[in-house]
Amino acid sequence: MENNFQAPIVKRNLPRDVFLHLFAMVTLYWVAISFITLCWQYINYFFPDALNYNYGANGSIRFAVASLFIVFPLFILTSWILNRIYSKESQVRDSKIRKWLIYLTLFVTALVMIGDLVFVINTFLGGEIKARFILKALSVLLVAGVIFWYYLDDVRKAMPSALAKYVAGATSLVILISVVGAFFIIGSPMQARLLQFDQQRVNDLQNIQGQVVNYWQRKGELPNSLTDLNDSIAGYVVPQDPETKQGYGYAVKNVAGLSFELCATFNLPSPAVMNRNGKPMPVPAPYYDGISQNWDHGAGRVCFDRKIDPQLYPPLNKGK
């Protein structure tokens, strides 16, 4: 008697499985790092350090928010697609590539948690424990711990559990709140553009100030107007306001005293950091020839008084 029994055809798509599992893990790492970065910047904001100005804080927050805004939905979508595949092709869930990547993730998160705890205890024994340090260490431990707990539970089960939906929902809510809250720190995209215009104005005024000092050193007098600084041979042209295309303000206040003022109209007050007492503290502008120049400003037209010290900046033709 002929046996017509045929074994069921196992549907496998190895390239697809490798791509989806690898993509899910890479986006998971990306989301975890971005979320930790955002948490650290929140801690820096609410627990400021007078010795740390955090010049690149807004840039770090913007990149973290952009990453979470794009990468996290991709991670959720990839995980959803994989769960759909698992329900139809159970053998994909048991694939070696999935288990290798999950156990690699467990290994990495375990090392992160151990290293984090060792670092906390080492710092504590050194007497340098502070609130902001504890919070940063806890944020790393919490994120790594959640990832370790979820995937350790998931790898033991033959089919996806209902827990995945609750974890995805809770994680999405936490990330949504953190992303929305970030805009209260960095401001809207429009505000960021206005601040960029203001920063360019400060850069231009610093540049003009240097040219005024150079003019004094070479000619022994202050320029009557900013057009005197234009040099067709050197190719220097006095910059204009990047937004309005109008010239900056300049006036000689005291010829003998070598004092002058530079003026510009700003969109917003200059950014400030907070000291340990929670009071605003102006961010110092870059140094000019080793002397700290204050470019702190409010909104609207602001003039900066400057005075050349002839001992620091003597005429170049002195004694000839």
Label residue 16 by pLDDT band (50, 70, 90): confident
The amino acid at 304: F
Phi and psi at 282, nearest 5°, equal -60, 145
What is the per-residue pLDDT for 282? 44
Does residue 296 have a pLDDT over 50?
yes
Does residue 287 have a pLDDT over 50?
no
What is the per-residue pLDDT for 267? 92
What is the per-residue pLDDT for 75? 94
Q: Which residue has the tokens 């992160």?
A: 112
User: Could you give the 3-state DSSP secondary structure of residue 187?
Assistant: coil
Does residue 124 have a pLDDT over 90?
no
The amino acid at 103: Y
What is the per-residue pLDDT for 18? 87
The chain-wide mean pLDDT, for the chain, equals 82
Does residue 196 have a pLDDT over 50?
yes
Q: What is the pLDDT of residues 197-226, one digit of tens each?
A: 999 999 999 999 999 999 999 988 999 999
What is the per-residue pLDDT for 51? 54
**Average pLDDT for residues 42-55, to the nearest whole number?**
69
Does residue 275 have a pLDDT over 50?
no
Does residue 166 have a pLDDT over 90?
no
C-alpha dist (Å) from residue 182 to 42, 43, 177, 268, 300: 8, 12, 9, 19, 26
Does residue 191 have a pLDDT over 80?
yes
Q: What is the pLDDT of residues 142-161, one digit of tens each?
A: 999 999 998 888 888 777 67
* Residues 93-119: b if buried by 16+ CB within 10 A, e if exposed: bebeebeebbeebbebbeebbeebeee
Q: What is the pLDDT of residues 220-253, one digit of tens each?
A: 899 999 999 998 888 899 999 999 999 999 999 9
Whole-model pTM: value is 0.68
C-alpha dist (Å) from residue 4 to 9, 10, 319: 15, 18, 112
Label residue 13 by pLDDT band (50, 70, 90): low
